[in-house]
Amino acid sequence: MLGKLMKKIEILFEAATYAEAGAFEIARETLKRKYFEEKEKRVPVTKRVEQRKEIRAPHR
């Protein structure tokens, strides 16, 4: 948990550094790239529910 928070803060500081230097587009790209990388790791709720159904024994 703490590691994830530190990584997010690191990304924000990286983007802020680019923005302070006037490289606003690079700052935006940095934030978008990191956001989409994190989003791709998430498993949608529907897939998690389907996986649980496969594990359970069928009802009789």
* Domain encompassing residue 33: 2-55
Section 22-33 average pLDDT = 89
pLDDT tens string 34-57: 777 766 666 666 766 666 665 666
Reported as a single tens digit per residue, the pLDDT across 14-23 is 999 999 999 8
- Return the closest-CA partner of residue 28 out of 36, 38, 42, 18: 18
- Residue 34 falls within a domain, yes or no? yes
Judge whether 35 lies within some domain: yes
Q: What is the mean pLDDT of the chain?
A: 78
What CA–CA distance (Å, rounded) separates 43 from 13? 27
Would you say 30 and 7 are in contact if contact means Cβ atoms under 8 Å apart?
no
User: Does residue 60 fall inside a structural domain?
Assistant: no
Does a structural domain hold residue 45? yes
Q: How many domains does the chain have?
A: 1
Q: What is the pTM of this model?
A: 0.53
Alpha helices in 1-60 (DSSP H): 2-20, 24-41, 45-55
The sign of the CA dihedral 49, 47, 38, 3 is positive
